[in-house]
Amino acid sequence: MSFAPLKNDLILRAARGEKVERPPMWIMRQAGRYLPEYNQYKGSSDFFDLCRDPEKASVITIQPIKHYPGLLDAAIIFSDILVVPQALGMTVEMKEGAGPHFPDPLRKPEEVDSKLNFNPDVSKELDWAFKAITLTRKKLDGEVPLLGFCGAPWTLLVYMIEGGGSKMYRFVREWIYKYPQESHRVLQLLTKTCIEFLALQVQAGAQMVQIFDSWAGELGPTEFKKFSLPYLLEIAEKLSLRLKELGLEPVPMTIFAKGAWYAVEDLCNSNYNTISLDWLHDPAQAVAQVAGRKVLQGNLDPGVMYGSKETITAKVEEMIKGFNGGKQNYIINFGHGTHPFMDPENIGWFLEECHRVGSL
């Protein structure tokens, strides 16, 4: 597949550990409900119908790039981590204002074989995702790189068993402590599916990928090492091999294990290029610990967007200073995604200030 040459490859250079003129930036959930143009374009459409329509997904992916001209250094394809459980045969709905909902979650180990397809044809089940990536890459015309992504096996298992967001994670805890073997069986299926999904995203045009382990922090260090880390490591290892098999160059890989502050050392010994940090990390401490072995991404508390412009400026300065001025081994991001209530103007101010402070 041939696409226009990149006019801005800052994030790819930073992810390879090169020195850069300023730290690149993008924001988790940069496309979404805080943008009035998203709400207008979405209207009463179903969220997953938008994802599955390559034309619509590409328009939404590019909305933040247009809203903040020259400020974002990457686009991330508009989709969701829950399209993988869908590809395995589960029904997932997005309830307006209430988040994802599985009407028929996995609750008993004996349901695994009847509810999940252990031999999914990823290229067929998720073909709309690949079409959306290729179309978006064409429309971006080299302006900024396009990121692909998937959910981490552990986080996907949480959703499939809990059936949606959760406060207590009662059912998935029952699984790992009562049915560890069956949990591992599903985690293995998810891992295999994620590797193929990411490889085919790269084949379709994704130039960098991120794995979202949003609920990693629900696991303590011992359980993280059992139920999440091995699968994260396997994805990073096997994705490169699968890309080689497909005749494709490797792409930078980012891991976001939210809440798993204890995992930094293990992730330093992985094949990931970039470790995305939430705001529970002190940047300077993380920089000292990682010592140039990996690129770090993050980590502003998204809640800073509810503060004044002066506060945003002060927090940007503190963050970039913590990451050593940001001109090497650093990608600016929030520590988690945007919220629907955020003021797009404050987010614009954040980006401008990152541009200014990062260029000093």
The set of residues, in sequence order, having a beta carbon less than 8 Å from that of 202 and lying 6+ positions away, is 148, 209, 243, 248, 251
Binding flag, residue 213, ligand CP3 (CB under 6 A): no
Least gap, CB of 292 to ligand CP3 (angstroms):
27
Binding flag, residue 335, ligand CP3 (CB under 6 A): no
Give one DSSP letter per residue of 114-174, joined into a string: HH--SS--HHHHTHHHHHHHHHHHHHHTTSS-EEEEEE-HHHHHHHHHHSB--SS-HHHHH
Sign, CA dihedral 28-30-35-38, equals negative
How big is the site for ligand CP3, counted in residues (CB under 6 A)?
23
Give one DSSP letter per residue of 256-291, joined into a string: EETT-GGGHHHHHTSS-SEEE--TTS-HHHHHHHHT
Q: Which range binds ligand CP3 by CB under 6 A, 28-36, 323-331, 342-350, 351-359?
A: 28-36
Q: Identify residue 70 by its one-letter amino acid code.
A: G
Binding flag, residue 172, ligand CP3 (CB under 6 A): no
**Cα separation, 176 vs 151, whole angstroms:** 19
Binding flag, residue 207, ligand CP3 (CB under 6 A): no
Least gap, CB of 214 to ligand CP3 (angstroms):
3
Q: Which range binds ligand CP3 by CB under 6 A, 93-101, 221-229, 295-303, 306-314?
A: 93-101
Give the one residue of 6, 71, 94, 268 binding ligand CP3; rule: CB under 6 A.
Answer: 94
* Site of tokens 């139920």: 227
* Site of tokens 């059992």: 226
* Site of tokens 């207008």: 40
DSSP-derived 3-state class of residue 297: strand
Name the residue nearer to ligand CP3 (CB basis): 31 or 267: 31
Give the one residue of 14, 25, 74, 78 binding ligand CP3; rule: CB under 6 A.
Answer: 78
Q: Which range binds ligand CP3 by CB under 6 A, 74-82, 260-268, 300-308, 350-358?
A: 74-82
Q: Which range binds ligand CP3 by CB under 6 A, 78-86, 263-271, 288-296, 311-319?
A: 78-86
Least gap, CB of 61 to ligand CP3 (angstroms):
7
Binding mask 237-276 for ligand CP3 (x = CB under 6 A): ----------------------------------------
End-to-end CA distance of the chain: 38
Binding flag, residue 70, ligand CP3 (CB under 6 A): no
Name the residue nearer to ligand CP3 (CB basis): 149 or 227: 149
Binding flag, residue 36, ligand CP3 (CB under 6 A): no
**Cα separation, 183 vs 173, whole angstroms:** 10
Neighbours of 177 (CB within 10 A): 10
Binding stretches for ligand CP3 (CB under 6 A): 28-33, 42, 47, 76, 78-82, 94, 99-100, 149, 165, 212, 214, 337, 340
